[in-house]
Structure 1
Amino acid sequence: MKAIRASSLLAVAACVLALMGCSNAVAPGDTTHVAVDPAHATIGLLLPDSTNTRYESADRPAFEQRIHDKCPGCTVAYQNASADAARQQQQAESMLAQGVAVLVLDAVDGEAAASIVNEAVAKGVPVIAYDRIIDSPDLSFFVSADNERVGVLQAQALVDRLHELNVPDGSGILMVNGSPTDDNARAYKRGAHSVIDRSGYDVLAEYDTPDWAGSEAQSWVAGQITQFGSRIAGVYAANDGLAQGAIAALQAAGVTPVPPTTGQDAEVAAVQRILAGTQYMTVYKPIRRQATIAADAALTIVHGGHPKGTSTTKTAGKSVPTVTLVPETVTVQNVKKVVIDSGFHSVVQICTPAYQAYCREHGIS
Structure 2
Amino acid sequence: MSENTYAAKELGGATRRQVLGGAAAALLAAMVGFKAVYAQDKTLKVGLIMPNYDQLRWRNADQAFFEKEAALLGIEVLAQSSEANEALQASQVENMLTQGIDILVLTPVNANAAAGLVRKATAAGVPVINYNFLIDQADVVCFLGRDAVEMGEKIAQAAVEAHPTGNYIIAAGEESTSVARETRQGYINVLQPFLDKGDIKLVSDQFNKNWSTDTARAQVENALTKNNNDVAVVLCGNDGTAYGAIQALQAQGLGGKVWVNGIDAEPRAQELITEGLMALSNFTAFDQMGVEAAKAAVAVGSGQPIASNAVVNNGAKDIPWIKILNFNVSKDNLEQSAKDYPWWFAAKS
Q: State the TM-score, normalizing by the size of structure 1.
A: 0.81
1:51 touches 1:212 (CA, 8 Å); kept in 2?
no
1:241 positional shift: 1.1
Q: Post-superposition, which runs of at least 4 consecutive aligned residues in structure 1 deviate over 3 A?
A: 33-39
Aligned residue type for 1:185: A
Aligned residue type for 2:98: A
Aligned residue type for 2:346: I
1:25-60 Cα offsets, whole Å, 9 max, x none, are: x953x67x8555665222111111233221122111
In structure 1, what is the equivalent of residue 63 of structure 2?
Answer: 60
- Equivalence map 1:70-89=2 (5 Å): 70-71=73-74, 74-89=75-90
1:68-127 Cα offsets, whole Å, 9 max, x none, are: 1121xx321111112222221111111111111111111111121101110000001010
Q: Does 1:125 find its partner at 2:119?
A: no
Aligned residue type for 2:50: L
- Equivalence map 1:1-365=2 (5 Å): 27-28=32-33, 35=38, 39-71=42-74, 74-163=75-164, 169=165, 171-199=166-194, 200-337=199-336, 339-345=337-343, 350=346, 359=348, 364=349
Question: C-alpha separation between the residues in 1 aligned to 2:71 and 2:125?
Answer: 24
Which deviates more, 174-183 or 253-262?
253-262
Counterpart of 1:341 in 2: which secondary structure?
helix
| Structure 1 residues 336 and 81, CA gap change in structure 2 (3 angstroms) | same
1:270-293 Cα offsets, whole Å, 9 max, x none, are: 111101101001112111101111
Q: State the percentage of identical aligned residues.
A: 27
| Structure 1 residues 44 and 57, CA gap change in structure 2 (3 angstroms) | same
1:322 positional shift: 1.3
More helix by share: 1
| Structure 1 residues 184 and 340, CA gap change in structure 2 (3 angstroms) | same
Q: Which ranges of structure 1 fall in alignment gaps of 5 or more residues?
A: 1-25, 164-168, 352-358
1:204 positional shift: 0.6
Instruction: Compare CA radii of gyration and give the structure with the larger one.
Output: 1
Question: C-alpha separation between the residues in 1 aligned to 2:346 and 2:340?
Answer: 14
Question: C-alpha separation between the residues in 2 aligned to 1:271 and 1:178?
Answer: 20
Which deviates more, 146-155 or 85-94?
85-94
- Aligned-residue CA RMSD in angstroms? 2.0
Aligned residue type for 1:229: N
| Structure 1 residues 222 and 314, CA gap change in structure 2 (3 angstroms) | same
Counterpart of 2:321 in 1: which secondary structure?
strand
Question: C-alpha separation between the residues in 1 aligned to 2:276 and 2:71?
Answer: 40
1:210-244 Cα offsets, whole Å, 9 max, x none, are: 01121221222222222223211111012111111
Q: State the TM-score, normalizing by the size of structure 2.
A: 0.85
Which deviates more, 174-183 or 78-87?
78-87
Count of matched residue positions in the alignment of Structure 1 and Structure 2:
315
Highest relative contact order (Cα 8 Å, sep 6+), 1 or 2? Answer: 2
